[in-house]
Amino acid sequence: MDAVGHRVVHGGPRFSGPVRLDAAVFKELQELTSLAPLHQPPALAGIAAVKAALPAVPSVACFDTAFHHRLPPAAATYAIPDQWRDRFAIRRYGFHGLSHAYASRRAAEMLDRPSRGFRVVTCHLGAGASLAAVRGGRSVDTTMGFTPLEGLVMATRSGSVDPGLLIWLLRDAGFDAAALEESLERRSGLLGLAGTADMREILARAARRDVGARLAIEVYLHRLRAGIASMAAALGGLDALVFTGGVGENAPSVRLQAARGLDFLGVRLDPRSNRSGGPDREVGARGAPVRTLVVHAREDLEIARQVRRLLAGSEG
């Protein structure tokens, strides 16, 4: 074994690309745990285990936030007091960057398009879900923000909610910060709407006209369509739409229902291609202005690519 690459969700304001892991880097990553409480601890545990088992093998951290590190200021900045932004490094970091980077590059390959000027919205839809607007291989907007809670409805996470609601829950409803975090991270999203976080079960129940399941799907799709349209606006137009992740790849009805609300953008699906086919395929209707693809999520390949490039550079 020559090297080990680790997926790390949060790189904070410092880590804008892959980095070799040492004790100082590990300590900095520990300090970011509060920003990604579901993901950072198991990543750190994996790093420690590999270091103990393979002390002489170089380990590299690859960050989900790094792909979005150069978001334009208009997309990265919250309209909050500047003292907060400066003191606490508060900005929109974005997540799922490894998946968005791979999916956008793979889409350009599949369509035989140069990355320069190529405008694609990548939809990473899994237990966690986010969108990215990618122009010329660079992220220019995304739906997740300071933490992975912002944006779309997810399996157990709420996505965006009115911050005034959170203030009310803390001030008037007797919640404390720990209870609020537990509810928003682990008891909301599809689980909070339908009683289950499993999209397959929700779709099956919705087909049987289950009221809770149908509401969950409608809320999910409403946020998804609105997010895709906002990403297209950030790009100034759209050349391709990509679905990836567990739901994005394996729920044709979600893709079809999302596309039905995006015809005004030029998104139209071919029902037969959408229902079946290989892991990387085009599902858009012939002649549709926007090409629509399903891309198998390969964060592992993106990590391997980043590890090779980093170590090749550091070794001359």
- Provide the annotated active-site residues: 64
Q: With contact defined as beta carbons under 8 Å apart, do 83 and 99 qualify? A: no
Q: For 104, how many CA atoms within 13 A lie in the half-sphere containing its CB? A: 28
